[in-house]
A = this chain, B = another copy of it.
């Protein structure tokens, strides 16, 4: 009631901005409710729509039911703990949930999100545990501009002189330096795993793998341009070639332990591709490598020195006995065959790796899960 009173007060005084005013007139829909069985109930107020559907991660589209006041309601099946994206289709048109302030951007698509955390231990939910800090950091890049990366430092980092191992975590095509934080829930995962003693405290560095942009759209020199898959410097060697800009900045600006035993690299899709070739070209630098639904075969500029002689580079890399080479992919992923061929190549060469095959395809649900599986394996004595 206090909220409504404030809205009305602001509205009556004429000072509420126009885009907010109409919120007052649609109070009949309510914020998402997670029910005791793990199902989620969602509502939408629209008295003129003829039909409404729910489009929700991992389940088939659900038909919504209208009441006499024009409130549409739907309850999902019971869901496992996790974070889910959804939107409505109102007479076939994508519509966000005006009763839910939580959204998530995937490339240029904005969707609502809901967290199901019945156990109170969902790794993707924010809990009452010590939190690491997150920084958006500009580092000098070979190209002449500064570029932006995100850095997670674990709880306690700023109150000790200790050094920490470092984990470079790379996004996929269409993503940027914000993707692992926003869609991947990196901060929540790290906070929770470290608090539970499942992962050791570490620094996580999330750079931007699109070398033709200096930062996520809206944050860099290009101004407010729409996010896109379409990058000129994409998987053509420029990110791998200039990766030393990032490691150099991190080593000079953070208290990191150095050496392969204290350095991990992993990424999803394009970021897995980057991880594969960066680590293969620096065979003594990364003791832990993770390929999450990785692209394997060079697509653009395959003749780049970065991609040449990969068999010999892998032989050198595996001869150095990396502590972990981890490959994860979903059985329905369109990169499944490419990964299978890569595993056969590694098998034939006698290279040891850990393989995790999940259900599902090329999707964030898998990459979040892989993160919770990979991170506890890092930097253990």
Contacts and interface: CB of A to CB of B under 8 A. Distances in A.
Interface stretch (A213-221, A259-267, A283-291): A213-221
Interface in A13-66: 13-20, 22-23, 26, 31, 45-46, 48-50, 55-57, 61
Q: Which of A17, A145, A187 has the most CB of B within 10 A?
A: A17
Contacts of A94: 22-23, 26, 98
B93 A26 contact: yes
Given A14-B332, A18-B56, A18-B61, A48 B91 contact: yes
A380 interface: no
A299 B154 CA distance: 39
Interface in A70-96: 85-87, 89-96
A100 B15 contact: no
A15 B338 CA distance: 15
Nearest to A111: B19
A105 interface: yes
A96 B93 contact: no
Given A102-B218, A131-B146, A133-B138, A87 B19 contact: yes
A340 B100 CA distance: 38
A299 B152 CA distance: 39
Interface stretch (A122-130, A237-245, A317-325, A368-376): A122-130
Contacts of A155: 138
A217 B101 contact: yes
B334 A115 contact: no
B227 A93 contact: no
A292 to B, nearest CB: 14
Interface stretch (A2-10, A201-209, A306-314): A2-10
A108 interface: yes
B363 A15 contact: yes
A158 interface: yes
A110 interface: yes
25 contacts: A3-B228, A14-B332, A14-B361, A17-B364, A18-B55, A22-B55, A48-B93, A49-B93, A90-B93, A96-B96, A98-B109, A100-B226, A102-B226, A103-B105, A114-B224, A117-B223, A126-B220, A126-B222, A126-B223, A126-B224, A130-B146, A131-B146, A132-B138, A133-B135, A138-B155
- Which 3 residue pairs across A and B have the least CB separation, nearest first? A128-B221, A15-B361, A13-B334
